[in-house]
Each structure stands twice: as structure tokens, then as C-alpha cells.
Structure 1
Amino acid sequence: MATVKQEIMKRSLIINVANGVDDNGKTKIKAFTFGNLKAEAKVEDVFKAANALGGLYAEEVQSIVLSEKSELAEEQ
């Protein structure tokens, strides 16, 4: 089986924050996206930054998402 390398092309941080409730009593979510994260940034550091940013919002942070777009290729 060939060895595959991954090259991260784009990373974004998404902080999902509570934004009231709908007619069914379910929490509505508002997403805040921060782009252009460095590909070499450690996930622990990204998580710390997300928690710091999340603390600036009046409403509760529901989730933190790291989105990556990568190119895959066989190593030669």
C-alpha cells in the first residue's frame, strides 16, 4: 500500500454559541468563523485560543470546531 502525505491547505476555527431558543424549545446556534489559521498550529493552542475568544461572548459556547481542507497525494 502506498504512503499518502497530507498537506493542509486551509484551516478555520468555528465557535458555535447559543443564540436563544426556537419555538420547540431547542437551543439556536450562531457560528463565528475565524479563518487563516496556521497549518502548523497545535490543536491544543487552537483550543486555548477558542476558549479565550468564546469567553468574550455573552452567551454560552456550545462547541468548538476545527475545519481543515487538505490535499492528499502519494509520496514518491
Structure 2
Amino acid sequence: MFSTSSVQLNCGRGDLLVSVVGTNTGTAPQFTPEWQSLPVLKLSSYQLSTAYRTIPAAQSCAATGLTTAQWGAVAVTFR
């Protein structure tokens, strides 16, 4: 499982949340269902997965999903 929840993002209604997850070996990250995934960028055993979602109401936001690989992730909010 991956999550960017260690850094709290305060999202407002209508914000665009974008996340990128980098992995090496293992399965490509699968974001939770509310995310719209973009094509995975692959270079040898490295994979870069990108997804976005719009926020329906003010809340704390994080990118979450599943992978069997070691991962690094970042999420940013656009207003």
C-alpha cells in the first residue's frame, strides 16, 4: 500500500489533486477508485504512475493505493 498522508494537504471543493508514484520492480501502483489514472511511464524496471481527481468537498487529502514495489510518492493541489 502507498499513501501520501504523512504530509497533510487541506483540499477545498473543486480543487484538482495530482499525484505521482515512482516504483522499481513489483507491480505498477493502482490508485483507489476515485482517481483517474494516466498511462504508466516505464523505463526498464522503473515505473512512474500519475493520476488526478477533483475534490467534492473541503477535506484533508492524500493519494492512496496498492503496489508490491518499493515506492516514493508526491501529491499536489491546484486551486
Bin for the TM-score computed over the shorter chain = 0.3 to 0.5
Higher strand share: 2
TM-score in terms of structure 1 length:
0.41
Higher helix share: 1
For the pair shown, which has the larger CA radius of gyration, 1 or 2?
A: 1
TM-score in terms of structure 2 length:
0.40
